[in-house]
Structure 1
Amino acid sequence: MTITDVNTAFANEKTRQIDAARGREQAFQARIDRGEIRLVGGNQYEVLTGWDRGERFTVSRNAQGEIDAILAAHGLDSRADGTIALYASSPAWHGLGQIIPGGTTDIDTVLRAGGLGFTVTTVPALYKWGGELREHVDHFHTVREDTGAPLGVVGRRYAPIQNRQGFEFLQELVGRYDVIWESAGVIKGGRRVFISIRLPETVTVDADGINDLIIPYVAVMNDHSGQGTFQCVVTPWRPVCANTERFAVRDAVTRWAVRHTAGAVDQIKEARRTLGLSVKYFEQYAAEETALARTDIAVADFHQVIAKLWPLDDDATDRTKTNHATRLAAVDDLFRTETERVGRTAYAAERAITGYLDHVTPRRPGKTMTEEIARATAALEGSDDEIKSKAHRRLLLLTRA
């Protein structure tokens, strides 16, 4: 018979708890010291690096002042078991979701882990009038078949593109190029879902100079609300500052979209052709970015580009002038930061502009979205692609001057 000393067991358990608490504190402080996160006031912190740059979270502490919980403002949905509807191949700063270290090549695992395994159907739009239930002809609701939750109102021609149907065409790329699924998740109650893969070849800008690394991704978003399309984008991503830098370079396709109709699934197969052009896109992209990196730029020229992107009318209101000045100050600050790393070049100017659009410019989130998710969605959907391309073209003119 084994006799347990309760007092010793209690002391050992308490020691383990104290050591664990100290470990959490030390790890948290180490992230601050490395410049990955910073205190912005009270118990609010901001992420400074990676995909999640700009996001904020709250740290709660117990009576002893030890970290009790990290509450992330991630904006992602929860699954039926209470876990976050997110799959990732590496952990994010908030530590949430289903992480498979090193990723997986199996789409079913991704759909299950990311909470994307549900299907969508349409049901008649009904309303009550005079005590009688009536049908709104040619109008339907999209509904999740697992929970019955309504997602949107659509017309007669709308045909849901199921998540697996829409995403499985990428499985061929995963198998052919030996890449993995990077991330997948659900936002806005299932109204939107996303998935991404990383292409195998990285892109280097100015290999003999700044040697800046660009990581190419393919991202796909499916919309079940009736307010958007099924779309696929090829997007360059800079890990140093988490900017998405999708420009309309010559002879390349970076975006492909289709509406939810009966023939949509067959059309999705055409996305393979779009993705096949991605190699050409990145070759041209690297050449143009290298030209920018080798072109010095004066601050006056940079301000002239800014003035063309965001013109200020002579009769602008005081509020508009204030907002304009605030924007210029923010972009100037980003430009100074970039010049410290890559020199005062057209490349630094472009980094400052894309950085402002991706991380600083105000976003108005919907009722079910945080500002961080609204910002990430805008980057994926290409809300600022036009102005980024305009800046890119104007800066390229300086390389030929």
Structure 2
Amino acid sequence: MAHLVETMAYAGSTPWHGLGNNLPRKESIEVWQREAGMDWQILESPVHFKSDMVGHLSTIHSFPEQKVLYRSDTKAPLSVVSQRYHTVQPREVLEFYRDLTDVSGYELETAGVLKGGRKFWALARTGQGAELKGNDQVNGYLLLATSCDGTLATTATPTTVRVVCNNTLTIALDGSSRAIKVPHNTRFDPKTVKRQLGIAVSGWDEFMYRMKALAERKVQWHEALGYFMTVMCESSPTGALPEQLPNERALRKVQELYEGRGRGSQLDSARGTAWGLLNAVTEYVDHERRARSNEYRLDSAWFGQGAQIKQRALDAALQLAA
């Protein structure tokens, strides 16, 4: 089976997806670039095609509206994009964190390349943290990711990690993510994004206030069932029995995680609470959901359908506590 992760590095404990080369904490950006496999460039070439004519030599034509992006090291093609497409280089993703790690107390924890170079990211701990009752620690992170195939805008996302289970959750309130997105028809300006993130990161206290409210909100069994059906099956809890639902395995798994099998599910903050409901879903998406490999699960949990499920879980939990 082909791996989705091309290369990756991490500092500290092994990340939840179990991938990558281990680095000492507070390593230089240059070392991160090498060990994370991000020491190459995205190059451009005009698009040409060959037309075959019976009885004649083939003719080479150009297609000026588009260009081919390819890797400088392997020459492997990455995508065909329009001439208006602005690339963000792998080194730029890491350079984004240089002043944050030198001056602002951030620490890089993971960085890497997905899908042969079509997508790459870096994740840093911000130094923010909060503790819910029962020593349930939640830390703040900043994820910067981009693509060169049009599947992902350059996106800076404030993220949380629950320490006891390494569950990840995007900071989002009132149905809107705090992520800053720069489409590829616009040039990526790190200074502008950091100014915008100043507003987003300031939402940490409000976000954790809401999470503490989830930890205080006790739920009944019928509320838990309704929550999981809404989140996992996008179904109403009335009428259908679990045996009749299309996503029965997922529903049963998150119920088991919530009812005691999940990491941290027995903590005071999670046992029988809306916070426990939310973390049952995030643990399922990050660790238990069926996937071709851990690499595919990571991609989904951060950028794909898994991220959408976690957002749905957060919205539903906040509604319960409203």
Greater strand content = 2
Secondary structure at the aligned position of 1:245 is classed as: strand
Counterpart of 1:108 in structure 2 is 30
Q: 2:168–2:282: 8 Å Cα contact kept in structure 1?
A: yes
Q: 1:203–1:282: 8 Å Cα contact kept in structure 2?
A: no
Question: Residue 380 and residue 274 in structure 1: after superposition, are their counterparts in 2 closer, same or farther (change >3 A)?
Answer: farther
Q: How far apart are residue 241 of structure 1 and its match? A: 1.7
Counterpart of 1:149 in structure 2 is 76
Of residues 282, 289, 293, the one that matches 1:371 is 293
Counterpart of 1:352 in structure 2 is 280
Secondary structure at the aligned position of 1:302 is classed as: helix
The higher radius of gyration belongs to 1
Counterpart of 1:341 in structure 2 is 267
Of residues 192, 198, 212, the one that matches 2:125 is 198
Q: 2:44–2:70: 8 Å Cα contact kept in structure 1?
A: yes
State the TM-score, normalized to the length of structure 2.
0.83
Q: 1:204–1:286: 8 Å Cα contact kept in structure 2?
A: no
Of residues 94, 99, 106, the one that matches 1:167 is 94
Question: Residue 108 and residue 351 in structure 1: after superposition, are their counterparts in 2 closer, same or farther (change >3 A)?
Answer: same
Counterpart of 2:40 in structure 1 is 118
Unaligned 5+ residue runs, structure 2?
53-57
Question: Residue 300 and residue 247 in structure 1: after superposition, are their counterparts in 2 closer, same or farther (change >3 A)?
Answer: farther
The letter of the residue matching 2:147 is D
Q: 1:165–1:265: 8 Å Cα contact kept in structure 2?
A: no
2:167 pairs with 1:246 = no
Question: Residue 306 and residue 313 in structure 1: after superposition, are their counterparts in 2 closer, same or farther (change >3 A)?
Answer: closer
Question: Residue 269 and residue 137 in structure 1: after superposition, are their counterparts in 2 closer, same or farther (change >3 A)?
Answer: same
Counterpart of 2:115 in structure 1 is 188
Secondary structure at the aligned position of 2:66 is classed as: strand
Percent identity (aligned):
25
State the TM-score, normalized to the length of structure 1.
0.68
Greater RCO (Cα-Cα under 8 Å, separation 6 or more): 2
Structure 2: distance between partners of 1:389 and 1:227: 19
Alpha-carbon displacement from aligned partner over 1:183-224 (angstroms, at most 9, x marks no partner)? 22122221122112111122222xxx3231012111111212
Alpha-carbon displacement from aligned partner over 1:287-323 (angstroms, at most 9, x marks no partner)? 1111111121111111122233324489x999x9353
Secondary structure at the aligned position of 2:128 is classed as: coil
RMSD after superposition? 3.1
Question: Residue 398 and residue 101 in structure 1: after superposition, are their counterparts in 2 closer, same or farther (change >3 A)?
Answer: same
Structure 2: distance between partners of 1:91 and 1:388: 24
Q: 1:122–1:143: 8 Å Cα contact kept in structure 2?
A: yes
Structure 2: distance between partners of 1:325 and 1:91: 34
2:5 pairs with 1:76 = yes
Q: How far apart are residue 238 of structure 1 and its match? A: 1.2
Q: How far apart are residue 359 of structure 1 and its match? A: 2.9
Structure 1 residues 135-146: aligned runs within 5 Å = 135-146=62-73
Higher mean displacement: 108-117 or 87-96? 87-96
Structure 2: distance between partners of 1:313 and 1:214: 31
Alpha-carbon displacement from aligned partner over 1:274-298 (angstroms, at most 9, x marks no partner)? 3323443221121111111112111
Counterpart of 1:61 in structure 2 is none
Higher mean displacement: 121-130 or 390-399? 390-399
Question: Residue 87 and residue 137 in structure 1: after superposition, are their counterparts in 2 closer, same or farther (change >3 A)?
Answer: same
Q: How far apart are residue 141 of structure 1 and its match? A: 0.8
Alpha-carbon displacement from aligned partner over 1:50-85 (angstroms, at most 9, x marks no partner)? xxxxxxxxxxxxxxxxxxxxxx996432xxxxxxx3
